[in-house]
Structure 1
Amino acid sequence: MMLPAALLLLGALTAVFAPRLLARAGWPDREPVVALWMWQCVIAGVLLCCALSMTLSAAAAWRAVGGRVFATAPSVVVEAYALGTAGPWAAATAAALACGGLWSAVMLAREVVRARARRRRRRAELIDGAPLLPGEERGRRLVVLESERPDAWWLPGSPPQLVVTTAALRRLKGRQLDAVVAHEQGHAQARHDWLLHCSAALAHGFPQVPVFAAFRDEMHRLVELAADDMASRRFGRLTTALALVELNKHRGVFGPCPTPQAHVPARVHRLLTPPDRLPPVRRLQLTAAAALVPVVPLLLAFGPGLRALG
Structure 2
Amino acid sequence: MMVTAALLLLGALTAVVAPRLLARAAWADREPVVALWVWQCVVAAVLLCCVVSMALSAAAAWTVVRVRVFAPAPEAVVEAYALDSAGSWAMATTVALACGGLWTGAMLVREVVRARRQQQRRHAELWLRAPLLPGEKPGGDRLVVVEGERPDAWWLAGPAPRLVITTAALRRLEGRQVDAVVAHEQGHARARHHWLLRCSAALAGGFPRVPVFAAFREEMHRLVELAADDTAARRHGRLTVALALVGLNEDRGVFGPCPTPEDHVPQRVHRLLSPPQRLTPVRRLRLTACAVLAPAVPVLVAFVPGWRALGGL
Q: TM-score normalised to the size of structure 2?
A: 0.97
Give 1:260 shift. 6.9
- State the Cα RMSD in Å: 1.0
Equivalent position SS for 1:42: helix
Which residue in the other structure is 1:152 paired with?
Answer: 153
Q: Kindly provide the amino acid, as one letter, of the partner of residue 82 in structure 1.
A: A
Say whether 1:104 aligns with 2:98. no
State the number of aligned residues: 310
Which residue in the other structure is 1:10 paired with?
Answer: 10
Tell me the percent identity: 75
Which residue in the other structure is 2:280 paired with?
Answer: 279
Question: Equivalences for 1:249-288 in 2 at 5 Å?
Answer: 249-259=250-260, 262-288=263-289
Distance 1:260 1:171 in 2: 26
Distance 1:211 1:308 in 2: 35
Distance 1:286 1:126 in 2: 42
Question: Equivalences for 1:1-310 in 2 at 5 Å?
Answer: 1-139=1-139, 140-259=141-260, 262-309=263-310, 310=312
Equivalent position SS for 2:175: coil
Gaps of 5+ in 1: none
Superposed CA deviations along residues 58-103 of structure 1, whole A, max 9, x for unmatched, are: 1101111111211222222212212111122111111000000000
Distance 2:91 2:267 in 1: 49
Give 1:261 shift. 5.8
Equivalent position SS for 1:216: helix
Superposed CA deviations along residues 269-306 of structure 1, whole A, max 9, x for unmatched, are: 00000000000000000000000000000000112223
Q: TM-score normalised to the size of structure 1?
A: 0.98
Distance 2:37 2:90 in 1: 33
Mean Cα displacement is larger for which, 15-24 or 194-203? 15-24
Q: Kindly provide the amino acid, as one letter, of the partner of residue 275 in structure 1.
A: P
Structure 1 contact 145–164 (Cα < 8 Å) conserved: yes
Gaps of 5+ in 2: none
Structure 1 contact 253–261 (Cα < 8 Å) conserved: no
